[in-house]
């Protein structure tokens, strides 16, 4: 599980700027896709090989008593509770305020590992103008400029050094281990995750077994179905209790993110009677950004009429357009309807995510595609695509080598994506196309 850093501080100190700086390399991988929301406060980031999750808590007002502020304060508290290290962001230019003292008191009581980040310190990294921050009694102060990127690496190193277990922060290579499919059933509260999982675990064809020595606090359930081994990952809001899964009282975005990241395949569960909500779209966006294979199940199909079905169809088309690669299934976990087709879909998504694509075949498909429809000239030169090789699995990445590829439009990228998908029968996984420009 990746460690979690939470950005906390009063409004306007630069938390979102810092958040964007920390998460942007990751987000840049995904082209702008219709429906993919970007106003998120949870994201993945990395420093060298060390990966972590960052939470931007928005404006924190510990004394907030009413309305939206109270709701925000509640969410901030949850984020802080889930964080391994709290980055308390302060404004090096305006100095300490009463609000900063409030937040400091709150953090001191919590006793979490904490780092003071003196932001907006560009041009003053060497000076000690922020030395008054030491008054807060929360330990080390590190100056950064989120806007200009100065000091950010040093600050992150200090933050990650505060983690109890640094090994846990090293990225695990995304390999298929011994034919086991790691499956996460993800979805917001009440979509039917526990109903579905417990229906599965109650099936005769599904043999669940405990790993020796991990009966308590097990974070996953291994099982076998028709000879295929699976590992079911504990998901947000779900915890294993003995032989059944139970919903825990609190939905956790962090747990959802961690489950999605450690899965090979995400079964995204939606409540058909509710349409696609913001939270559904966010969870789907996480899965996409992490390149996960996805199968979508529209649950509670039994409970909706034909008018609602049409509406659902439309909301999927507009809000989940970026999941076009995934297969969709209508199910009723409660009535045990439509469940059988999920298994081959999961297996197919997994196989697609780990597909091996040999260079000669990739290159042939590339050349055939270019012959069929060449990329348009942009600027002085016509793009020239020479060959392609596989740059990774889960998700599969196709790296295209050539010249003048800078201006190749997204529409052409999608054209190539479609061709590779068809040739390699890739269903249920994102496929990334990268251009590598020869120098
Ligand atoms: P948040 O409310 O804490 O999320 O703060 P924002 O990230 O929205 O930033 C508040 C303001 O501070 C914006 O106008 C930013 O452009 C500015 N800002 C953020 N980081 C820096 C920085 O490193 N230096 C300076 N000078 N301004 C910054
Ligand atoms: P979770 O929070 O995602 O684990 O959701 P639960 O499995 O606890 O289900 C939430 C509610 O939806 C419960 O009252 C279930 O009985 C109900 N539910 C789950 N699946 C279905 C279904 O297929 N059809 C109908 N009508 N209700 C369902």
| DSSP 8-class letter at 270 | E
- What is the CATH T-level fold of the domain 4-162, as seen in this structure? Rossmann fold (3.40.50)
**138 neighbors 88 (Cβ within 8 angstroms):** yes
9 annotated ligand binder: yes
Ligand 2 within 6 A of CB of 264: no
359-437 matches 181-354 in CATH topology: no
Taking only the tens place, the pLDDT of each residue in 257-279 is 888 888 999 999 999 999 999 88
How far is the C-alpha of 289 from the C-alpha of 320, rounded, in Å?
13
pTM: 0.77
Task: Verify whether ligand 1 is closer than 6 Å to residue 94 (CB atom).
Answer: no
User: Which atom of ligand 1 is the closest one to the Cα of 89?
Assistant: 3
- Ligand 1 contact via 215 beta carbon (within 6 Å): no
Confidence category of residue 167, pLDDT binned at 50, 70, 90:
very low
181-354 fold: Rossmann fold (3.40.50)
Domain ranges of the chain: 4-162, 181-354, 359-437
Q: What is the CATH number of domain 359-437?
A: 3.30.300.20
Helix, strand, coil percentages, rounded to 5, for the chain: 35, 25, 40
Question: Long-range pairs for 305-311 at CB < 8 Å and ≥24 separation?
Answer: 308/272, 308/273, 309/272, 311/275
Per the model's pLDDT, the better-predicted residue between 363 and 161 turns out to be 363
Q: Is the CB of 187 under 6 A from ligand 2?
A: yes
Q: Which ligand is nearest to the CA of 151?
A: 1
Segment 9-31, tens digit of pLDDT: 988 899 989 998 998 744 444 44
- Indicate whether 233 pLDDT > 90: no
Contacts of 94 (CB under 8 A, 6+ apart): none
Q: Is the pLDDT of residue 310 over 50?
A: yes
34 or 190, greater pLDDT:
190
CB count in 10 Å sphere of residue 69:
14
């Amino acid at each position: 599980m990746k460690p979690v850093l939470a950005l906390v501080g009063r409004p306007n100190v630069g938390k979102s700027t810092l958040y964007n700086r920390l998460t942007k390399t990751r987000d840049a991988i995904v082209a702008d896709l219709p429906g993919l929301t970007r106003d998120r406060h949870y994201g993945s980031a990395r420093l060298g090989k060390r990966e972590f999750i960052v939470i931007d808590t928005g404006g924190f007002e510990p004394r907030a008593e009413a309305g939206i502020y109270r709701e925000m304060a509640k969410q901030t508290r949850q984020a802080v509770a889930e964080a391994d290290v709290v980055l308390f962001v302060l404004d090096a230019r305006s100095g300490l305020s009463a609000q900063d003292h409030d937040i400091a008191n709150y953090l001191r009581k919590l006793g979490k590992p904490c780092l003071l980040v003196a932001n907006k310190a560009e041009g003053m990294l060497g000076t000690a103008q922020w030395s008054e921050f030491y008054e807060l009694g929360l330990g080390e102060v590190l100056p950064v400029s989120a806007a200009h990127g100065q000091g950010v690496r040093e600050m992150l190193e200090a933050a990650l050094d505060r983690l109890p277990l640094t090994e846990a922060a090293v990225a695990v290579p995304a390999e298929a281990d011994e034919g086991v499919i790691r499956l996460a059933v993800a979805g917001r509260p009440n979509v039917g995750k526990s109903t579905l999982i417990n229906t599965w675990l109650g099936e005769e064809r599904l043999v669940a077994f405990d790993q020796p020595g991990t009966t308590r606090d097990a974070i996953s359930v291994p099982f076998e179905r028709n000879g295929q081994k699976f590992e079911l990952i504990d998901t947000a809001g779900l915890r294993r209790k003995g032989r059944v899964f139970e919903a825990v009282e609190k939905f956790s975005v962090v747990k959802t993110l961690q489950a999605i990241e450690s899965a090979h395949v995400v079964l995204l569960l939606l409540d058909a009677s509710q349409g696609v909500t913001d939270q559904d779209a966010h969870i789907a966006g996480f899965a996409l950004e992490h390149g996960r294979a996805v199968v979508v199940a529209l649950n509670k199909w039994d409970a909706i009429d034909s008018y609602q079905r049409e509406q659902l169809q439309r909301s999927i088309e507009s809000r989940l357009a970026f999941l076009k690669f995934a297969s969709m299934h209508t199910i009723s976990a409660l009535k045990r309807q439509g469940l059988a087709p999920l298994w081959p879909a999961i297996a197919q998504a997994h196989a697609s995510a780990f597909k091996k694509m040999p260079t000669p075949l990739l290159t042939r498909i590339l050349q055939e595609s270019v012959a069929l429809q060449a990329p348009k000239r942009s600027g002085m030169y016509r793009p020239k695509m020479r060959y392609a090789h596989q740059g990774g699995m889960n998700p599969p990445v196709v790296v295209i080598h050539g010249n003048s590829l800078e201006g190749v439009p997204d529409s052409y990228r999608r054209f190539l994506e479609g061709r590779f998908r068809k040739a390699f029968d890739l269903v249920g996984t994102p496929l990334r196309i990268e251009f590598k420009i020869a120098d």
